[in-house]
Amino acid sequence: MLSPEDNALLTQTDAVTPMGRLFRRYWVPALLTEEVPAPDCPPVKVRLLGEDLVAFRDTSGRVGLLGEHCAHRGTSLFYGRNEECGLRCIYHGWKYDVEGNVLDTPAEPAGSTFAQRLRHTAYPTTEVGGMVFAYLGPRERTPPFPEYEWTSIPTEQTYVTKCLLECNYLQGLEGESDNAHLEYLHRTAPNREALIGWAPDNPDWDTEETDFGVRYVAVRPREGGRTDVRVKSFVLPASAFLGVNLANKGEGYEVHTYIPADDHTTWRFDFGFRRFMPDAPRPVHRRKQIGPDYRRVRTMRNHYLQDRELQRTVDFTGIEDFLNEDSCATETMGPIVDRAREHLGMSDRAVIAIRRYLLDTVQAFQAGDTLDSFVTDPAHNSFRHADALHAEIDGADWRAAFPHLTLRRP
């Protein structure tokens, strides 16, 4: 459980809050490349960390992320004209480039230097794996983009989706560290007898703090002295690196990132990559669950289209697809769950470890500490030890089996 004060510290993410300022020190996914597919295409609205923004791709192909409201009189730039390397407001023609420079104020007198004294809100962006990332922190402290393994994977070997969750980011993130729910929330069976007549395969847990976040490991004994090992990583500020099916064969893994739109809604970005199979079909099941506006088809308002007969016979929830099952579990807690009312058990060990890490991190940040996870030196910009895998090994020592997964945080 968390005290109301600690719960508020972790869940409030506007720009003036400690957690909001912490988020803004990292590169975070803001939108998908497909939302601004071509130069001079229509701009799109982006709500991120409680801030209303607008994204556009200029004539040269650069992606800009600007404050939504024109600096002149506040008209929304979403309705602006995207032309000649800038976004022009439809009210009085003020024009902005991707850096936030005011290029033109056509209603001002000839020779006016007014525009040169202004700068509009604008954030740096970079594109990786079909996502547009943004840095919303102090410009003078912009870090290099992290060198995760998947940043160098060709786009044809990746897949990505996003959708909106109607709850605080932390509820989604905690769900990723909760391995126990896999035995229940996502369970299917060939018949009703098999559905209700089974014993869960509970693992032993190991967790450790690292310089990027928390590594949590589920270990299950198998026959013949072998051990089933599932390694996941929580990576600051709000990502889970998890094995899913690709990790069984060493082909890759997925990254699920939970970025607050505001304190009550969250953008979930699911990114996956394949190391060795560029021609393999990409998973498309999530796309079928998400509408063109990036809202899920199944929501609280339609009760996730739950099928009670399916639930009675062969599916534990009666809700189609992992994405919707996860969403039901986290959204129906409420917009921000009261963690003082919880009763945590041994199966919540990873959840507890991540909360403790986040609290330590944001409290150190408040105190002015320089954190290990803030990469400023390109020579140390490697996150390849933030791995995710699922494998069966001889013996029980997972550290010996995976020497690249070394403890990094003293």
Reported as type and span, the H/E element at residue 65 is strand 63-67
Please state whether the peptide bond connecting residue 237 to the residue before it is cis, i.e. omega within 30 degrees of 0.
Answer: yes
Q: What's the chain's average pLDDT? A: 91
Residues 107-143 have pLDDT tens digits of: 999 888 888 889 999 999 999 999 999 999 999 999 8
**For residues 381 and 259, what is the distance between their CA atoms, to the nearest angstrom?**
22
- The most distant pair of C-alpha atoms in the chain lies apart, rounded to whole Å, by 84
Residues 203-226 have pLDDT tens digits of: 888 898 988 899 999 888 999 999
Residues 46-78 have pLDDT tens digits of: 999 999 999 999 999 999 999 999 999 999 999
Domains of the chain, start order: 27-141 (2.102.10.10), 149-401 (3.90.380.10)
pLDDT of residue 410: 46
Tell me what the mean pLDDT of segment 176-195 comes to.
Answer: 84
3-state SS of 312-370 is: HHCECCCCCCHHHHHHHHHHCCCCCCCHHHCCCCHHHHHHHHHHHHHHHHHHHHHCCCC
